[in-house]
Amino acid sequence: MSLSLLASSTTISSPVTSGNPLRQRANTRPAVHLSNRAPYTSCEQNKQNKDDTHVVDRRNVLLGLGGLYGATATATIGGNTTAIGAPLSPPDLSKCHLATDDATNQQVKCCPPYTTAKFKDFEPPSHRDPLRVRKPAHKLRADEIARFEEAIAKMKALPADDPWSYMQQATIHCTYCNGAFDQKGTETLLQIHGSWFFLPWHRYYLYFWERILGKLIGDPTFAIPYWNWDTPEGMYMPKIYLNPQSPLYDDTRDKNHYSSVLDYNYAYGDPNPAGPQIEETITSNLCRLDRIFKESHHQPSLFMGKPLRAGEVVPANASGSCENLHNTMHQWVGPPTSPYYNMGNFYTAARDTIFFGHHANIDRLWDVYSKFRGQRPEFRDRDWLDSTFIFYDENREVVQVKVRDSLTPEHLRYTYSPEKLPWTNIRRQCRKLKKAAKKRSAGDSMKLIPVSEFGSQPRALTETIRALVARPKTSRSKDEKEEAVEVLVIEGITVPPGTPARFDIYVTQPIEGLVGPDNGELAGSYVKIPHGHHKSSASAGHSHGNSNLELGISTLLEDIEGEGSDKLVVTLVPRNGDVTVAGIHIDLFDVDEED
């Protein structure tokens, strides 16, 4: 389904029937394009394979290597050595080690209260089970709030070593995000952030948390609320979390934001929007969502995150736009100063109950994204679909779950109440907002100044950087746009360990090699939250604090009427943190083959 057909829609209704769209294509074998357009190899390998157009079925290659599926292998294809991965497997529970709190550089205990367990294969709930309906936090009835508080209070009253206890459940996030486990049989860090595992892993995390809470209060229909910060009325911290007498309260939050509107463009130290700025902020937030969904519609890795396979370290350019936006809410809710507990630090984030409301909305937006795409699996790669995680379930058993069983909420017997999606019909207001901003910047100075290329050496982002960047192709036809999306890549982003960071990226057209005072259109932001890695990961090749950012700009170019420009001006605006950037370029990425 095209986004253009949904531009005037105001709601997404979740079907109440159970189903897994994958079962209709169980025998699909994805082809891997060994070129820089297909995000299936490392950054360096992509560069090596830039001119290689061979298409290879990975399963046949693996069979040819003697059935190595399940272990990392390599093959020489077209003269290039290419990594061939496998689905992620559950870690060895007996080999849990100290994790690292990146904000303090201290080692911390995040191991589960069991070291051995017999895994049981997860069986999705029956279609006869009641459908749990998650509602917006600010719309809960008094009895629903009381039931939620009762469930959390009972979870907090459990013994500290009970896997169901509040702190043990919160620690799960540290276990898989701060390096308590290595991938099974390797010394490579097990990490679920910064890749295509970010959304499915968190979906399961919330699923079991919700089921355990329901079990504690004896309610099989219990559903957790979500903080729907994608609607104007939801762009405030929900009041259910702000009562100091409630078990939902957390005193580490930034109290300056208790009554302020949420700003997707927030950086530490920013003043709260006031007066006319409030409406401008809300509109700007909605425009950001509109751009994220439109730019990533035909390239799921831009929304979901890049592939991560067994035996591989987290790729340097792996996070999707959904995860990057999610980081802003963590910073906005958490304390504005180091060590940024609780929401501001991955090590402690889940200790604040609002974490689960926030992630329920992230999960809901994945559901919306999936429905926009006709509920086709974002990746048909078995290295994603067959990857496995483990969780302690509501029956006090350790279960191993597969990504393929998490593709729709309905398959897990929960759904989200239908709500308006005002950001799907916001383009006219976005244009008006941009014109007003451009008029204000033009009032400062109309002088045009020269702009040059970024250069070959890394540059510290201590002040705004403006660079002239060549495009791979101009004036592309409609057919060409349907085959590939244009992507702006910010390379080699380095941030000191333990520190947060943010910078914004704008795009505009040059005027005969010159540029005016207006930065142009906001393409996106880089947002980093402190989170740690097991120290041995450095020897395993893990890139600590070094990443790339990929932003789709196909629709942006239409908005600024820049299709005919052979070069663009890219502006990096520092907002927070000590950041170094190695380079900027624009590339074309092949779209989903079914689009």
> Which parts are annotated binding residues for Cu cation?
173, 193, 202, 326, 330, 359
Alpha carbon of residue 203 to chain centroid:
12
Encode 31-51: b = buried (16+ Cβ within 10 Å), e = exposed: ebbbbbbbbbbbbeebebbee
Known active-site residue 359? yes
Q: From 351, 322, 294, select the one nearest 555 (Cα to Cα).
A: 294
CA–CA gap between residue 429 and residue 432 (Å, rounded)? 5
With a CB cutoff of 8 Å and minimum separation 6, the contacts of 443 are none
Which amino acid is located at 222 in the chain? F
Which residues are paired to 468 by β-bridges?
569
Q: Annotated catalytic residue: which of 358, 359, 411, 531?
A: 359
Q: Annotated catalytic residue: which of 257, 298, 326, 533?
A: 326
548 near 486, Cβ under 8 Å? no
Q: Annotated catalytic residue: which of 33, 257, 298, 330?
A: 330
Q: Annotated catalytic residue: which of 198, 222, 346, 589?
A: 346
Known active-site residue 97? no
Tokens coding 455? 């250069």
Q: From 88, 28, 130, 23, select the one nearest 408 (Cα to Cα).
A: 23
Which residues are paired to 78 by β-bridges?
none
Region at 512 (left for phi over 0; alpha for psi -120 to 50; beta for the rest)? left
Whether the bond between 339 and the residue before it is cis, its omega within 30 degrees of 0, is yes
Locus of tokens 């302020």:
260
DSSP, collapsed to helix, strand or coil, labels residue 499 as: coil
DSSP, collapsed to helix, strand or coil, labels residue 584 as: strand
Q: Annotated catalytic residue: which of 202, 257, 534, 542?
A: 202
Q: From 455, 590, 572, 588, select the one nearest 524 (Cα to Cα).
A: 572
Q: What is the CA radius of gyration of the chain?
A: 23
Known active-site residue 33? no
Q: From 196, 141, 443, select the one nearest 315 (Cα to Cα).
A: 196
Query: Hey, which residues are catalytic here?
Result: 173, 193, 202, 326, 330, 346, 359
